[in-house]
Amino acid sequence: MRTLLTAVSLAALGCGVAFGETEQSIDCGVLKKESNGNWSAATPTTITLDGKSVRLFSVSIAPHKMKLGAHDVYEAINRKCGGE
């Protein structure tokens, strides 16, 4: 068990994941802010927040309507990709 924990810890550190910070994978290049303020994905994309992932395509992402773990997907996109 100890060897497994060490291996997982080293793998996480090698991938640039810092403990205590939110791991994010959001491709702003495929996301578009709609005129109503929602976000949409122009092509299929996967969003990852703290190790949990969701694949998006042809969906409108409104505030407080989609959670990924403890995170609001809209808020995470808005923080990373900007409000405009």
Residue 8 lies in a domain: no
Tokens encoding 71: 């995170």
Taking a C-beta distance cutoff of 8 angstroms, is the pair 32, 42 a contact? yes
Q: Which amino acid is at 73?
A: V
Domain count, the chain: 1
The band of 80, judged by pLDDT with boundaries at 50, 70 and 90, is very high
At 22 the pLDDT is 54
Among candidate residues 82, 33, 26, the one with its CA nearest the CA of residue 60:
33
Residue 13 lies in a domain: no
Taking a C-beta distance cutoff of 8 angstroms, is the pair 43, 28 a contact? no
Residue 58 lies in a domain: yes
Alpha carbon of 44 to those of 3, 31, 55, 83: distances in Å?
Answer: 37, 10, 7, 21
Residue 64 belongs to what domain range?
Answer: 22-81
The band of 84, judged by pLDDT with boundaries at 50, 70 and 90, is low
